[in-house]
Structure 1
Amino acid sequence: MRAEGGFARQLARSDLVLIAAALIASGLGAVLVHSATSADSGSAYLVRHLLNLGIGLLLALLVVRLDRSVLRTLAPFVYLAGVLGLGLVLTPLGSEINGSRSWIQLPGGFSVQPSELAKVGLCVALPMLLAPAAERRQRPRAREILLAGAVTGVPVLLVMAQPDLGSALVLVALALGVLVVSGAAWPWLAGVLLAGVAAVTAAFTTPLLSPYQRDRLTAFLDPAADPLGIGYQTQQVRRAIAGGGWGGQGLHTGDLTSSGAIPFQETDFVFSAAGEELGFVGAAFVVLLLGLLVGRIALAGTRTEDPFVRLVCWAVAAWFAVQSVENIGMNLGLLPVTGLPLPFLSYGGSSMFACWAGVGIVIAVARPPGRVRA
C-alpha cells in the first residue's frame, strides 16, 4: 500500500498542461461571472462560483485516486445514478426553469442538474461496453453496438422529455464519437446520425419543446421576431461581443456586462462577457484555451494501448468539444440558443462538478497502472 507521497508523485506525473488549462478556464470564468453579476448581486455569484470550483476540484481529486480497473467496475453504477437522476427530474421532485424541467432543488437554495451526471456516466459506460471488441482486435459486434445504442437512448429520451435539446445533442455526439473511435462500421455510424437528425426533426415539428424553447429557435431565425423577449437577449449578446473590439472595454467596465443588461449572462452567455470586456483577443484566448483542453484529452487517448482508456478519453473530448462549440456558436448567433453552459467558465454547480469529474476520470485512466491509494 503506497503512502500519500506516492499518490502525490503519481499526480505530478499527470498531464499538467490539461490541469493548468482547466484551472485557468475555471479562474477566468470566476472573473467573468463576477463582471456579469456584480451590478445586481455584488460578490454573491463569485463566492458561489469559487465554492463550486472548490467542490469540483475535491471531486476530481477523489476520482484521480481510483485506477482504471476500479473506474471500469464502477461504470454501470455511475451510469445508473445518472439515469435515476433523470427519472427523478420528471417527478414532482423536479423543478422547471425556462421551460425545461431539468433541476432538482436541494435544501439551502442549491440545485442539481442530473443531465450533467448523465454525461459523466455515458463517458464510462460506453467504453466499458465497446472496449472488449478492441481488446479482441475486432470491430464491435452488432449486439455490442445495439446495447451501446440502448444505453445511449435511455438518457437521451429522458433528457428530451424534460425537454433539453442541447444536452440530448451532446449525449448523441458523445456516443457517436465513441463509436467512431471504437472502429464501428460506417452503416452503424450512419444510423446514429440518422437517429440524431430524426430526434431533432421531431423536436422541431412536434409539441415536444416548450413555448420558451420554441421562442429561442424563432429568435435564432429572426432576432427581431421577439424584441422584448429572447430576441432582445440574443441581440444584446451580439452587441456586447461586437462592442468589445480588438482589446475589449476592460474588466468590470463593459457597457452591457457591467450594467447587468444581458439576462442569464453568467450561465448561457458568459462568452459574451469575455467578448465585450476582453475583446477579440480575450475571446480568442477562451477558444484556444478550451481547444487546448480538448486537444490534451484527445492526445491522452491516442497515446495509450488500452482500448478502455482510449474510448474514455475520446468520450470526454467529444463532450467538451461539442458543448463548447454549441455555447460559443449560440453566443455568436451562429447556432440556436439551447441553454448549454460553457465548460468550466459558466456559472453552475452541476456543470462545474461534471467537468472536473471528467478531467479527473481522464487523469485516472491515462495514468500508468498502479496502486495509488493510501
Structure 2
Amino acid sequence: MGTGRRAFLALLAMLFALQVFALLRAPAAWQPAAIAITLDGPGSVTLTAAQLGAVGAAGTRLVFSRGADGAWRLRADGPALPVLRRGGTEERLGTVDPSTLRSFAIGPRRYTVTPGVRGTLFFTDGAARWHFDGATVFRDGTAQAHCPGAPWPERGVALWNRVAPRALAIARPLLFGGNLHCGNRIGIDGVDGGAARLARQDQGLVLSASAGAVPVQGDDAGLRDDQRSLDGAQSLAVGRSRYELAVARGTLTLAPARRVALHAVPETTLPPGVAWEWRQRSLWRGGAAMWLLAGAAALAVFGAVQGREAVPRRGNILGPLADARRRRGRLPGLARRLRGPAAMLVLAAGCAALVLQRGGEPPSAACSLLLSAAALGMWFVPPGRLPAAAGAALLLVGAGLLCQLNLGLAGMDTGWLRYHGKTAALLAIGSGAVALWRLYPVAMSQRRIEWLLAGAAGAALLLLAAQVLWGDETGVFDMQPVEAAKLVLTLLTAHCLALRMGWRAGHRALPGHGARWLRLIAPALLFLALLGCALVQVDDYSPLILLLLWAGAMAFAYALAARRWLAAGLLGCVALAGIAGVTALRSGDPAHLPATFYGDRFQVWLEPERHPHTGQQVRDGAAAIAAGGWLGADGWLGLASLGNPGGAVMALPAVQDDFAPSFLLHRHGLLAALLLWCAQAAVVAGLAHAAARHCRTAAAAGGFRQAWLARLQAFALCGGAAFVAGHLLLSWGTNLAILPVMGQPMSFLSAGGSHLLFFLLPLLGIHAGSSQE
C-alpha cells in the first residue's frame, strides 16, 4: 500500500471517526411519544403548535372539542391548516369542494355555482360567467388574456393548456383578488390578490382561503371557521408533523409519527387535561433487523476488501497468518466469492433503510453511519485501482455525511436527521448497484448501446413530462427526474459526438451528408430542448445557466478533440466575456433593472440592505459566514460544536440544500472550506484528465469500435465534469454572494438525494469502470 493510499484511507477514516465523536457527545433530547387530551364531558381545549410539538406550524391553534354525544371535533386557526386522513382520503380544514355548494362568497363578491362535470366548475357573479377546468379560466366562453408582464414560460404553459387535451393539461390554480381579470386570476375590488384559490387535486377541485382577514364563505359557513368530526380519522397532519389518532372513552391520543419537536429537558407548559408521555431520543438503539442487515453488509465488504492485498506489509500483526492463508490460496478465493454477496447485501440494506424511512421508522443515526461506511467500502471491492477523481469524490461524500449528521444533531426536531439517513440509504443503493455493474459487466454491441441510450432518453422524457403534469419544482414521485435526465443527456450527446468524430474525411463528399448529420445530432437537440422547457418552468434561472455551462464545455471539448482551434478560441472568448459581464453587472446600478421577478433577484443581490425582507436570506447567510471566520464559530474548526444545537444558523432557508455551504463555513470555518475546495477541484480535474486520456486512446486506436468507445467515455466524462463544476460554481456563488441567489445543491455536500443517486454515483461508476478497462 503506497503512501498516498494510506493518507487517503486515513482521511476517510478520520471523517467517519468525527461522525462517531459527534454521536457520542450529542446532548440528550426528549420528544413526545404520545399526547393525551382528556375531557370527562362536553368541553374543549385549545392547543398551540408548540403544545403539540408540531414543526412548521407557528401561529396555528387547534381547538379539540367533545360533544354531549361523546364525539370529538377539530377546528383550527392560523397559517398551517391541519389535514385529516380518513378512509384513504385527505381532508384539509379550511377547504371545500365547490361542486357541493350552491354559492360561495369572497369578501363582498358572491358567486353562484352551476352544476357541471366533475373536475370543472361553472360559476357566475351576475356580470360574467366563469368556467375553470383546473388549468385555464374562461370568461363568457373565452380564455382570459395573459396578465401584463407575465414571463414567457407562464405564457407558454397557458397556450399549451388551451390546445392540449384535458388529461395532458398542466394544473394551474385560479386566484381570487386584485384589480385585474387576467390569466388565472379573477379580480375583486378591495380584496388583495390570493385571498382565495381554486386548485385541482386528486379528488377534484378544492376551494381554500388564505390566512388573511378577507372572509371566504361556502354557502353559510366560513372556510376559516371550518370544523370537522374526528370519527373514523386515522391521522392528523399539522405543518410538517403527523400524528396517529386513537380515541378511548374520554381520551383522545395523538401519537407522533413524523417529525416532531425536541426538548432539552422533559418539561413543557400544557393546559389542563393535556399530558405528554416523554421519550428520549435514541441515536444508537432501534431496528434490530436493520442493524443485522447493515452489520452483515459491512462484514462482507470488509472481508472482500481484505482479500485484495497481495502481500501483507511489515509490522502487520496478522501478516504471518495472512501469508499462510495466501500460500494455501484461501484468502483470495474467499474474497472473490464475497464480492458479489457484499454488493447485493449493501444494495439490499440501502433499500431496506429507505423503505423504513419512508414508513416513518427510520434506522438510528449510528446504523445509518455503519451503512454509509459499508457503502463507501464497496468502492474498494471491484478489481483495479480506484482513480484519483473517484477517491477525491469519496472524501467529499464523507465530508457531506459529516456535515449532514452535524446538521441533524444541531436541529431541534426529529426531522433534521432524516437527511443523513436518506443520504446513507441512497449511497448504499447506488454503490451496490455500481459495484454489481463493475463486477459482472455485460458485453454489448454498439447497436445495443444505442438502443439502451434511446430507451433511457425516452424514460427520462416521460419522467420529465410527469413532473410538468403532476409535480412541481421539488420533483415528482419523491424524486427529481432532472438529475437522471442530465446523465442521459450527457451520455446521448457523448454518443453523437463520438460517432461524428469517427466519420472519415471522404464522408463529406458522399450524398446525403447533411441529412446524416441532422439525424445524428437530432436526439441530443430534441432532448436538450425538452429538458430546457421542463426546467424553465421552475421559478429560477439556475437550470438554464447550468445547461449553458454544460453546452459550452461540450462544444469546447469537441473543438479541441477535432483540432478546430478557431472554434475553441471563440468559445474561450465567450467564456471570458461572460466572466467580464458578471463582474460588470456586480458594479452596476440596481435602479436601472426592470421591475420583474429576475430584476428583483438582481436588486437583492446588488443591494440587500435596501430589501430587508426579500434580501434577508442573503443577509443571514453572510452573517453566518462572517461568524464562522477562519476556524469556525467555536474557534476549533467545528470540533468543539460537533453534536451541539445549531442556533440561529438553522433558520437559514434550505440550509440542508442550497445553503449547506453557509452552514459549513459557519460551523467549520474558511480553512475547512479551502480543504473542501481542493477536493472538489481534484474531482473535476480528475474527470477532465481521464477524458483527455481516453481521447488520446481513441486517436491511437486501430479499429472503429475501440475508437468510438474511447471517445464515448471521453465525452461522457467531460460532460459529467461540466455539470459537477456548474453545480459547485452556482452553489458557491450563491452562498458567497458572487452570483444572485440560485437554487442548486452542492454536489456531495448538500442533501440532494436524487442528485447523488441518479447522477453522481453513476458518473463515478462510469469513471471507475473506464479506468479499470
Task: Tell me which of 25, 47, 58 is aligned to 2:432.
Answer: 58
Which residue of the partner structure matches residue 32 of structure 1? 403
Identity score, percent? 23
Aligned with residue 21 of structure 1, among 379, 389, 392? 392
* Farther off after superposition, 146-155 or 284-293: 146-155
1:344–1:352 contact (8 Å) kept in structure 2: yes
CA offset at residue 246 of structure 1? 1.6
SS at match of 1:103: coil
CA displacement 1:2-34 (0-9 Å, x = unmatched): x86899999332434233222221121122123
Q: Distance in 2 between matches of 1:252 and 1:273?
A: 15
Distance in 2, matches of 1:9 and 1:242, equals: 39
Match of 1:170 among 543, 546, 560: 546
Q: The residue matched to 2:382 in structure 1 has which SS?
A: helix
Change (3 A) 1:287 1:30: same
Matched with 2:328 is: none
C-alpha deviation, 1:118, in angstroms: 1.1
- AA aligned to 2:457 is Y
Residue of structure 2 equivalent to 1:246: 630
Separation in 2, partners of 1:5, 1:347:
31
Displacement of 1:170: 1.7
1:76 is the counterpart of 2:469: no
Q: CA deviation at 1:338?
A: 1.5
Pick the aligned partner of 1:302 from 679, 692, 713: 692
Query: Residues 1-374 of structure 1: matches in 2 within 5 Å?
Result: 11-37=382-408, 38-42=410-414, 43-64=417-438, 66=441, 69=444, 73-91=451-469, 93-95=470-472, 101-104=473-476, 106=477, 111-136=478-503, 143=518, 144=520, 148-183=524-559, 216-229=601-614, 231-248=615-632, 249=634, 250-251=638-639, 253=641, 257-259=646-648, 260-304=650-694, 305=697, 306-353=710-757, 354-368=759-773
CA separation of 1:155/1:62 partners in 2, compared to 1, >3 Å: closer, same or farther? farther
Amino acid aligned to 1:244: G
Structure 1 stretches of 5 or more lacking a match? 96-100, 198-204, 369-374
Q: 1:80: how far off?
A: 2.4
Residue 136 (structure 1) shift = 2.9
Relative distance call for 1:309 and 1:247 in structure 2 (3 A) is same
| Match in the other structure for 2:41 | none
Q: 1:337 to 1:251 in 2, by over 3 A?
A: farther
**What secondary structure is seen at the aligned counterpart in 2 of 1:46?**
helix
- Work out whether residues 152 and 172 of structure 1, in 8 Å CA contact, stay in contact via their aligned partners in 2: no
Question: What amino acid is aligned across from residue 495 of structure 2 in structure 1?
Answer: M
- Counterpart-to-counterpart distance in 2, 1:68 and 1:137: 26
Partners of 1:15 and 1:262 lie apart in 2 by 37
d(CA) in 2 for partners of 1:136, 1:77: 25
Paired letter, 1:331: N
The 3-state SS of whatever aligns with 2:475 is strand
Cα shift at 1:113: 0.9
CA distance in 2, matches of 1:26, 1:136: 40
Structure with bigger helix share is: 1
TM-score (norm. length: structure 1): 0.79
Distance in 1 of aligned mates of 2:380 and 2:729 = 35
Amino acid at match of 1:31: L
CA distance in 1, matches of 2:493, 2:663: 36
How far did residue 214 of structure 1 move?
6.3
Q: Could you say if the C-alpha distance between residues 73 and 297 of structure 1 is closer, same or farther in structure 2, counting changes exceeding 3 Å? A: farther
Q: What per-residue deviation string (whole Å, max 9, x for no partner) do you get for residues 62-116 of structure 1? A: 554556856555222222222221111111x203xxxxx3411x3xxxx111111
CA contact (8 A) 1:294 1:317 kept: yes
Distance 1:303 1:168 in 2: 30
Write the distance in 2 (CA, Å) between the matches of 1:278 and 1:137: 55
What is the rounded CA distance, in whole Å, between the counterparts of 1:12 and 1:74 in structure 2?
26
Max Rg structure: 2
Paired residues of 1:240 and 1:257 also in contact (CA < 8 A): no
| TM-score, scaled to structure 2 | 0.40
Q: Which letter maps to 2:718?
A: W
Seen in structure 2, the aligned counterparts of structure 1 residues 214 and 266 have a Cα distance that, compared at 3 Å, is farther
Paired positions, count: 345
**Structure with larger RCO (C-alpha < 8 A, sep 6+):** 1
Shift of 1:216: 4.0
Q: Does the 8 Å CA contact 1:18/1:296 hold for their aligned counterparts?
A: yes
Greater CA deviation, 45-54 or 341-350?
45-54
Kept in 1: contact 2:550–2:723 (CA 8 A) = yes
Greater percentage in strand: 2
Counterparts of 1:206 and 1:367, CA distance in 2: 53
Q: Which position in structure 2 is the counterpart of 1:200?
A: none
Structure 2 match to 1:202 = none
**1:282-307, CA deviations, whole angstroms, 9 ceiling, x for partnerless residues?**
00111111111111111111111221
DSSP-derived class of the 2:652 partner: coil
What letter corresponds to residue 293 of structure 1 in structure 2? V
- Asked whether the 8 Å contact 2:460–2:488 carries over to 1, the reply is yes
Contact persistence 2:628–2:670 (CA under 8 A): yes
In structure 1, the partner of 2:146 is: none
Distance 1:94 1:299 in 2: 38
| Bigger shift: residues 63-72 or 265-274 | 63-72
Pair 1:151–1:44, CA change in 2 (3 A): closer
Deviation digits for residues 260-312 of structure 1 (CA, Å, limit 9, x no counterpart): 12121110011112211221110011111111111111111111122111111
Change (3 A) 1:135 1:85: same
How far the C-alpha of 1:150 sits from its partner, in A, is 3.4
CA contact (8 A) 2:380 2:386 kept: no
The RMSD of aligned alpha carbons is: 3.7
User: What secondary structure sits across from 1:90 in the alignment?
Assistant: helix
